[in-house]
Structure 1
Amino acid sequence: MFFLLRWTVYFLSFYFLTMLSLFALHTYLPKPPQIFGFIARSMAAYITLIICAAYGTIASAILKPLGLHYKYAQWTTAKAFKHLGKYTMGVEFEIIDDGEQILNNTRPAVFVINHQTELDVLLLGWIWPLYCSVTAKKSLRNIPFLGWYMTLSGTVYIDRVDRSAARKAFEGAAMTMREKRQSVAIFPEGTRSYSIEPMLLPFKKGAFHLAVQGGVDIVPVVAENYSAVLSPKARRFNSGTIRVKVLDPISTKGLTSTDVDKLTQDTREKMLNAITSMAQDSKSQSSLSRKKDS
C-alpha cells in the first residue's frame, strides 16, 4: 500500500511539474511552439476531469441513498468541472440571448447538442440544468472514476452494437422522463466532427425517438465552431470564450414514430442555420474590429 502511494505521489509530481513547465514555456518564450500550449492545456483538462469525476463519484454515492442523485448528481459535478476548468484550461462558454432561461425553465426535455471535440465535456458543465442526465456509450462504464460516477449518477448507457439493448435503454429513459420529470442531454451526431468550419454531421435518430416516446420538448443547443480555441488536428489549444445559443424548444406533442424523420431533419436544419449565423456574426465583428484598429 505504501509502495503504491509513493509511486502515485511520484507520478503526480512529475505530471504537474511537466504541465507547469510547458505552461511557463508557452507563456514566456518569445515565439513558443504551439504544441507546448496544446500539451499543457490537454494535461490540465485530463487532470481536471479526473478530479471532478472523483468528486462526482463521492457526491453521487452520498446523494443516491437520499434519492437526490437524479436532481443534483450530474449537475453538481458539471458545475465543479465548469468552475475548475475555467482556471485550469482558460476556456469559458458564454450563453447568449435568453439561453439560460430556456435551459432552467424547460423540464423535462431532450437537449440535443452539436459535438465538436473533447472540449464539449466542458460545454456540458456550462449548460447543465437540474434534473438532467447524459447518455453515453456503454464502454465508458468500465473506466475508473468516470464510469463509477456515471453509473451512480444515473447515466443512460447506450449499446451501439446491440440495437435491441439500445431501444430498451431509450424506453427506460423515456419512462424516467415521464415519472421523474428528468431531462436527458444527447449529442445526436454520435461522434465528434473535429471540423474547422461551421457544420454538422448527419444526426442519429435516437434522441428524437426518445423525445417522442417521452412526449417532451426538444431543446437544441449550439456552440459556435471553436477550432480557433481547440483543434486536435492542428495541435492547437488556446484560452478563449465560446458562444452558445439555446434555440426555442420544439414540441413533440401529438407526434408518433412516423414523424421522427422529419423532426430530425427540421431540428438539424435549425441548428445548422444557427451555427452558420454565429460564424457570420463573428466574421462581421472581426471586420469591424480591424476597421477600428486601422
Structure 2
Amino acid sequence: MVAVLSAVGSALAWFLVRYLIVVVMFYLLAYVSPLAGFAARILASWIALVSCAIYGVFASIALRLSGGNRWQSAQWATARAFKLTMSLLTGITFEVEDPHDYLGGTRPAVFVGNHQSALDVLMLGCMFPKYCSVTAKSSLRNYPFLGWFMRLSGTIFIDRANSKDARTAMRGAADAILSQRQSVYMFPEGTRSYAQEATMLPFKKGAFHLAVQAGVPVVPVVVANYSHLYSTGKLRFLPGKIPIKVLEPIPTTGLTTDDVTALTERVREAMLQELGPLTIQGRAQALATATKGSKSAPIAVPAPTTAASDKGTSSGVSL
C-alpha cells in the first residue's frame, strides 16, 4: 500500500512539474504571441482552481470539526485564497465598490449578480461575503475536490432538469437563511451569458422567490462586462482590473408571491442602469493601462450598449 501511494505521489509530482514548465513556456511565448498568453492563463487558472478546491476541502473539514458555525466561513476563506492565487498567476482581478459595506453589513440576504463566464469564479473570490453560500448545478456535486468542497461547505445544489427538486432546494435555503443567518449568492440569469457588451439575459425568479419567502433583502451586485479582457470565443485572456459595484439592498418585508415578478423586474432594471457606465469605466481603465505601456493600445474599447439586453434565452432552472 505504501509503495502504491509513493508511486502515485511521484507520478503526480512529475505531472505537476511538467505542467508548470509548460505554463512558463507559454508565458514566455506570450511576448510574441497573444494566443500563447491565452493558453498560459487558462492553464494557470486550472492550477489555481484545483489547488484552492483541495485547500477548501481541508479547510471545510477543519472548520466543521472546530464546532459552532465556523464552517459557514469555509467558502469565504477558499474564495479569498483563489483571489490571491489567480491574481498572482494571471494578473487579472476585480475591484469592489462598496462604500456602505453592504456586503459585510447586510446579513442575511440574497445577493444576486450578472453571470458572464467561468471567470465569475474569480469574481466571487474577490467579493464573496462571509457567512454566505453559493448555489450550483447538481452535476457538480460529485466532481473530485471541487464537488467535495461544495458539499462540505454547505453549497445548495439545484437540479436544473427537475423544477420540483429545485423548489425543494429553495425551501431548504430559506430554512438555512432564517435559522443560521446564512446569506446566499445567486446568478438569476440561470446560465452564463458570454455577453460581449453591457447586456444581461432575462432573469429567472428563483432568487426572488427565495428572498420573499425568507423575508430578507435582495442585494444586487453588478460586474462590468469584461469581454475586452476575457473571451474564450476570441481566445482572449489579458491581465487587468474589472470593476464591481454593490447596489443598495432592496427590502422584501411585506412582499408576497404575487410581488415576485415586479421585484425581479425592479432588480434587473437597477442592475442594467449601472452596467453600462460601469463597463465604460472598466474599459477606460484598460485602455489607459494599455496606452501607458505602449504607444499603440492593443485593446479596443467600444462603447457598451444595453440595446440587446433582453435578447437571448437562459437554460437555467425556471422557478
| TM-score normalised by the chain length of structure 1 | 0.93
Equivalent position amino acid for 2:89 in 1: T
In the TM superposition, 1:22-41 aligns within 5 A as 22-27=26-31, 32-41=32-41
Residue identity matched to 1:81:
F
For 1:25, give the aligned amino acid. L
- What is the alpha-carbon distance in structure 2 between the residues aligned to residue 54 and residue 272 of structure 1? 36
Cα offset, 1:51, TM superposition: 0.6
Shift of 1:201: 0.6
CA distance in 1 between partners of 2:288 and 2:47 (Å): 39
Give the conservation status (yes or no) of the 8 Å contact 1:135–1:185. Answer: yes
Which whole-Å CA distance do the structure 2 matches of 1:70 and 1:219 have between them?
23
Q: 1:172 to 1:37 in 2, by over 3 A?
A: same
CA displacement 1:172-230 (0-9 Å, x = unmatched): 11011011111000011111111110100111111111101110000000110111111
Structure 2 distance, partners of 1:143, 1:206, is: 25
Deviations 1:119-177 (A, max 9, x none): 10011011111110100000001100000000000000001111111111100110110
Q: CA deviation at 1:83?
A: 1.2
8 Å CA contact 2:189–2:201 kept in 1: the answer is: yes
Change (3 A) 1:233 1:284: closer
Map of 2:69 onto structure 1: 68
Q: Describe the shift of the 1:289–1:173 C-alpha distance in structure 2 as closer, same or farther (beyond 3 A).
A: closer
Structure 2 residue 94 is matched with structure 1 residue 93: yes
**Aligned-residue offset at 1:10:** 2.3
What amino acid is the match of 1:239?
Answer: P
Change (3 A) 1:73 1:235: same
How far has the Cα of 1:262 moved from its partner? 0.9
C-alpha distance 234-289 of structure 1, shift in aligned 2 (>3 A): closer
1:193 to 2:193 alignment: yes
Q: State the SS of the aligned residue for 2:203.
A: coil
Matches of 2:16 and 2:288 in 1, distance apart?
46
In the TM superposition, what is the alpha-carbon distance from 1:4 to its structure 2 partner? Answer: 2.3
How do residues 1-294 of structure 1 correspond to structure 2 at under 5 angstroms?
1=4, 2-27=6-31, 32-65=32-65, 66-98=67-99, 101-281=101-281
Return the letter of the residue paired with 1:13: V
Shift of 1:284: 6.9
| Aligned alpha-carbon RMSD (Å) | 2.1
Structure 1: where are the runs of 5+ without partners? Answer: none
Closer, same or farther: CA 179–142 of 1 in aligned 2, 3 Å: same
Which structure: greater helix fraction?
1
Aligned residues with identical type, % of pairs: 48
Shift in alpha-carbon separation, 1:91–1:281, aligned structure 2, 3 A:
closer
Give the Cα separation in 1 of the matches to 2:286 and 2:20: 36
Q: CA deviation at 1:62?
A: 1.1
C-alpha distance 6-287 of structure 1, shift in aligned 2 (>3 A): closer
How many residue pairs end up in the alignment? 288
How many Å separate the matches in 1 of 2:259 and 2:54?
A: 41
Distance 1:285 1:159, change over 3 A: closer
Q: Is the 8 A contact 1:69 1:153 kept in 2?
A: no
Of 160-169 and 276-285, the range deviating more from structure 2: 276-285
* CA apart distance, 1:6: 2.6
Distance 1:146 1:215 in 2: 31
Secondary structure of the 1:136 match is strand
Q: Deviations over 1:60-106 (max 9, x none)?
A: 0111131334431111101111111110111121112516x111100
Local SS of the residue matching 2:40: helix
CA distance in 2, matches of 1:113, 1:51: 26
- Unaligned ranges ≥5, structure 2: 296-319
Q: Could you say which residue in structure 1 is the equivalent of 2:312?
A: none
